Amino acid sequence: MSLTRVGILMAVLTTGAGVSVFTLAQEPPKFKVDVSVVNVLATVRDRNGRIVSDLSKDDFILEEDGKRQEISYFSRQTELPLTIGLLVDTSMSQRNLIEGERSASYQFFDQVLRPDGDQAFVIKFDVEVELLQDLTSSRGSLQKALNALDVPATLRRPATGRGRSDWLGISLGQSWPGGMPIPGGQRRPGGGRQGRPGPGGQRGMPGIGTLLFDSDFLASDEVLQQQEGGKAIILISDGVDHGSKVSEKDAIEAAHRADALIYCIRYYDSAACAGRGGRGGMGRDQGSQGTAALKALSKETGGRMFEVTKKLTLKEIYHRIQEELRSQYNLGYTPSDSGGTGFRRINLRTTDGKLEVVTRAGYYPKRS
């Protein structure tokens, strides 16, 4: 585990009330993957929405930037270790939903995690991002983290003008631990950085914070990028970001670089938002922006966006996510063009045009 990761994760737990100290144990990787091979996870459904799990390699057509690629590895049921990050919105608008999220999430972990290699971590986000539980396969530890989910006791706000550097526990004159640049940041006098809000995000809102994009970025860049095997983020929120340092685009890029799927669950409590119009409420435009952001995070990374309704409960959504995670095709190929470091777009389809293939939009080549 790099010192950069340790530094940032320690900083994430730094709040105005004090510092929570914990130790991250370094574990040797179980295996390594050839960085020249691109792995693509895909779910295939028929026109009725049923998962199709009996296809062969010859049923797929794979292209990168419009060029046909040869599929060198194929399996119908991946046995790779699975790492899941659960990101839960604990802003004030979610206060009536936490108990149901806690129960459904524990049941999901209990059913989906295999004891021989799968692991998970839990992050809560509101005006701050807090790592409640680092990578673990312990159901007891995950239950303890879920029990710690709560909304802020009082409305908090970062110090004026400091933004993300405040909750990372670093001053404006410093960069992130290890010198890592803050995506979207622009240099300020004195060497600090002032970031831009993501779509739907606003700055300087007293007592309000929903650092959705920041939480996704940290989960992808500081946890999942270090892991091998299948990786997925499950994000529960109404989708409206307030005050993130990074943008929606930065969050998606971080997930691409980590090879992580994002499953977004839009959970909206109209009663909690009633009367909170204007900048602090959930107006029609904000609701549309939140839905659009969750759709973008999911579609670009190969996951799906769900919305909790009276007919579709959170437990049913978790069941569908579990079904997809265990019913994916795993395809591998070596790109015919190995040059360049920019984003490369993937087009994966089947020879049967009636089938829908859900996979990530593309990838960034590994940095040397």
Which domains are assigned to the chain?
A: 38-77+328-363 (no CATH), 79-162+191-325 (3.40.50.410)
- Cα gap 154→207, rounded to integer Å: 8
Is 154 in contact with 240 (CB distance < 8 Å)?
no
- Per residue of the chain (368 residues), what is the pLDDT tens digit? 443 443 444 344 333 333 333 333 344 434 334 448 899 999 999 999 999 999 999 999 999 999 999 999 999 876 778 999 999 999 988 888 999 999 999 999 999 999 888 999 999 999 999 999 999 999 999 999 999 998 876 554 443 333 333 433 322 222 333 333 444 333 222 222 233 333 333 333 334 579 999 999 999 999 999 898 899 999 999 999 999 999 999 999 999 999 999 999 999 887 665 544 433 445 555 668 889 999 999 999 999 999 999 999 999 999 999 999 989 999 999 998 877 779 999 999 999 999 999 999 999 987 65
186 bridge partner residues? 194
pTM of the model: 0.77
Report the SS3 class of residue 180.
coil
What's the helix, strand, coil split of the chain in %, to 5?
Answer: 30, 25, 50
CB contact burial 220-236 (16+ within 10 A = b; e otherwise): bbbbbbebebbbbbbbb
